[in-house]
Structures are given as structure tokens and as C-alpha cells.
Amino acid sequence: MGTKFDRYRVREGDKVDLCEIDADDNSAFDGGKEAATAKLDEVRDDIAVLQERLYAEDKHKVLVVLQAMDTAGKDSTIRDVFKETSPNGVHTFAFGRPSTEELAHDYLWRTHQHTPGSGQIHIFNRSHYEDVLVVRVNELVPEKTWKRRYEHISNFEQMLADEGTTILKFFLNISRDEQRERLQERVDLREKNWKFDPGDLPVRARWNDYMSAYEDAIEKTSTEQAPWFVIPANRRWYRKLAVAEIVSEALRDLDPRFPPPAAGIEGLVIE
């Protein structure tokens, strides 16, 4: 890993203090919004080329996990970063409130069903991390139950990595003020009304509890095999570019290659 955006990677043993981290930071890119948008176009093209090779090679599996407070831009990040890729090999899965059937199983059951197979990139819009976030903050299970989950999650992700999955986890970090502005826009703008969920307000009211839950989750589960990246997300253009650069670099590291041509193909003339 070698891009400037690697500064957002959380290493094993790092302390994470989300109040101290600047959600407006744009220090990994020398240039403003316009330059970043042009750069994003390039990086997206790189991702598309690499993704086609990954799909053709049918060997590597890639899992991208996105977590964030409401309005931080999970959906638009998925759209913007993977815009040029083929829907044949890129799938997104959103995890909302669990169904009765999901609740009847262990909490990893529903996400495990959707981990990627060879040649595939799967994106989780929310994930098994909700089971140590909203579940912890809202006390949906006793403390001793959520407390032991960090270890399960680390073991689960280690297992996926051992079996050939590349894992990248992103926390899109917006400030509480920025969220206020974005929620207000959802109220004020007709074309954004559909995004407004009154249920987001009680979540916002517990902001500090969520930040503590995120800090613990990130500190306890960021590993070499399944790193977290805490992405400054107050500036939309910067957040997109940061995630795109990190994804592109990870794909490049995998060095996916087109498989060798079928035997006897050379010089073959189709009648």
C-alpha cells in the first residue's frame, strides 16, 4: 500500500478518538474540488480495468464494508467509486433492521451469506458491525453479549481473509454539524425529502454514544488482514476520491491478470 490516502488506515493497536479527527481534512490531495473530480475520473477508470481483470481471472474475492452515521454518504460513495465497473462482478448489499428470520439466527448469518465468491467484489452498505453499534447503543442485547462480538468479528474476518478474501472497511467520518446541515437539506429540498427518515433523529441524539461504539469497533477489529480506514467525509469530493484511491490501490496490489488463452487459439481463423 503506498498512496497518500494510506494515512487513514487504522493499524492494530492504534487508539481512535473520533472527536479529535478532523472530518474536514483534505491533506492527502494537493488540489481542490475540481482537480479531485478530474482525478476521480482517472481512478474510476483504473478500478474498472482492474475489476474486469479480477472478474476474468476468477481468483480473488474482495469485500468492501461501509459504515457511517446517516447522511455521511454511504450510498453515494458506492455509486461514485464503482460507477465504471460491471454489474456482473460488483454487487452491493444493504443491511437494515434484521428480519424475523435473521433475528432467529446468529448475527453473522445474514452477512456471511453475502460474502464474495471468486472474481467478485461485494460491497456491504452497513454490515455485521451494526451488531456492535446500534445494537449496543440501543441495548438490544445485554452488554456481555455485544462485548464478546468483537472477537467473533475479528475471527470471522480472519477466516474470510485466510480463505482468500481481501477486506477493506471504511468509516465515513462526518461531524455532527455537517450532519445537521445535510438532514436539514433533506427536510428543505423536495428532491431530497425521500431520504429523510424521522428515525434518524433519535440516532443523532445519541451521537456521542455512537462515536464511542465506533471507536471501540474500529480499535478492536482493525487488523492487517481487515483494516479500517477512517475517511474524512465532510467534503464529498474528498471522501469519494479517498475511498476510490484506497480501493484502486488494493486491487492493484492483487495484480489481477486475464487468464491465459485457450490452447490452440493462436492464429485461429473463425470461418
CA 180/CA 183 separation, integer angstroms: 5
Nearer to Mg ion, 94 or 159 (CB): 94
With CB under 5 A as the contact rule, the residue among 24, 151, 181, 197 that binds Mg ion is: 197
95 binds, among ligand AMP, Mg ion, none (CB under 5 to 8 A by kind): ligand AMP
Asked if residue 75 binds Mg ion (CB under 5 A), the reply is: no
Q: Interface with ligand AMP by CB under 6 A: which residues?
A: 70, 95-98, 126, 130-131, 134-135
Shortest distance, position 89 Cβ to ligand AMP, whole Å: 24
Nearer to ligand AMP, 25 or 131 (CB): 131
178 binds, among Mg ion, ligand AMP, none (CB under 5 to 8 A by kind): none
Asked if residue 70 binds Mg ion (CB under 5 A), the reply is: yes
Shortest distance, position 74 Cβ to ligand AMP, whole Å: 7
Nearer to ligand AMP, 118 or 138 (CB): 138
Q: Which residue is nearest to ligand AMP (CB)?
A: 130
Look at residues 244, 203, 241 and name the one whose alpha carbon lies nearest to residue 68: 203
Nearer to Mg ion, 43 or 69 (CB): 69
Nearer to ligand AMP, 136 or 235 (CB): 136
Asked if residue 12 binds Mg ion (CB under 5 A), the reply is: no
Q: Return residues touching Mg ion (CB under 5 A).
A: 70, 197
